[in-house]
Each structure stands twice: as C-alpha cells, then as structure tokens.
Amino acid sequence: MTEPYDERAARKAYIRRRQKTVFTVIAVILTIALVVSCLISFRVIDVEPQTKSVVQPNYGQAVPCAAKNQDGTAMKWADNNTVPVRVRNGTEFAGLAKAVGEALQDRQFNVVTIDNYPSSKVTRTTIYFGVNAINPAYTLNAYFKDAVMVMDNRQDRLVDVVLGATFNDLNKEKEVKKQGDTIKDFKGCKTVDELQKAGLPKASEHTAVN
C-alpha cells in the first residue's frame, strides 16, 4: 500500500534544499572575497601597478635639477614673458594648440609659434627643452596637470609643449602660486652632466612640422 503524497511536506523539503544551496553559494563567495582581501592587504596581489607608475616624479622620465644661484640656493620661477614657447598639437583635435596657445598668452607666456606635431597620436603632453632653458621649462610645466619634461640636445631657449591626449586644462594662476616663490626640484632629479653622459635625444627628431 503506497503512502499518501504529502504536498506540504514535499514543498518544505524543496525550500530547505534551495535555502541550503543559496547559503552554500554565499558562503563560498564570502570565503573567496576574504581570501582575496587578505592577499591584497598583504601586498601578495598588487591591484594598482598603473597608478604607481603615474605618481612617479616626472612620470618616471629622467629630468634635470633646476639651475641654482651661485650660492646653491633655489632660484625664483622664470618670468612667464621671458619663456619663448612653441605650442604643438599632437592630437586629432583640430584647434587644440591654438586654444592652449591663447590661454598661455593670457598667462603672459611668449608664445612664438602654434603648429602641428608630426604625430597626432601623442598620449601624454610633453615639454621639450634644452640645457639653456631648464628653469623656463620648469615654469611652463607648473601650468600643466599632465605634462612630462624631456631635455633634448637643443642649445637655444625655445621650449616646446606637445599636447597629448591626456591634456585637459591648464592650472589656474592661484594653483601655480601654491608652489612658492622658488623652483622645487623633481624628486630624484639628475645633474645636466649625468643626463648628457647618458645621452640626450636629438631635438631634430621632434621638431619637424607637418
């Protein structure tokens, strides 16, 4: 004789099985999350390699220390109107160099040329300068949020700023003034002799106009 089918009991048993499955899955997820959290906490897993590279002084590019006074003390920022600047568009956005050039002129920089860079796929804004324009380059760089400074073998005082895709906006005057009256070296900066011995890039490699 078969036992009568108890629908209520069967439903309860089904619900218990489903709850058990759900709780098991949740327990597994929480365990995995705990393990991953511990690995990150103890630096076994590094989740910010790109961020670390970005916060390096001058984005990891070797940069010369600023020129000093005869007594070795830090010099004041160069007057903006003494810095000859060529603004170059290294992006696909037409008119960007003109807009930035005008903004720099508003900040009293001596913008001598506005043109296109040979490549329109520059990622990071780059400021190129020579040994005779280190402090002017530092001054110009203070107005950019994203620029990397690169010293090449030019001998004149012209400073090139090649706008890249990371460019967003110039720093406001009050933001620049927060840096104080004198130029502060990049952490880990090198002497001019050290950079020259290591070999400087040729200015001619990035000065041709489209």
pLDDT at 20 over 60: yes
Q: Are strands 159-163 and 84-89 parallel, antiparallel or unpaired?
A: parallel
- Kindly report the length of the chain: 210
On whether the CB atoms of residues 111 and 85 are closer than 8 A, the answer is yes
- Return the amino acid letter for 150: V
| Full-model pTM | 0.72
Strand boundaries in 57-125, DSSP class E: 84-89, 110-116
Largest CA distance in the chain: 111
pLDDT tens string 138-155: 999 999 998 999 999 999
Q: What pLDDT band is residue 87 in, cutting at 50, 70 and 90?
A: very high
User: Where do runs of H (alpha helix) occur along the chain?
Assistant: 7-41, 49-54, 96-106, 134-141, 173-177, 192-198
**Average pLDDT along the chain:** 87
DSSP classification of residue 82:
G
Place of tokens 């010293």: 151
Non-local CB neighbours of 20 within 8 Å, separated by 6+ positions = none
CB atoms within 10 A of CB 122: 20
pLDDT at 53 over 50: no
Closest CA to 181 of 74, 105, 107: 74
Non-local CB neighbours of 89 within 8 Å, separated by 6+ positions = 96, 97, 115, 116, 117, 120, 163
pLDDT tens string 163-200: 999 999 999 988 888 788 999 999 999 999 999 999 99
Rg of the chain (C-alpha set): 29
Cα of first residue to Cα of last residue in the chain, in angstroms, is 96
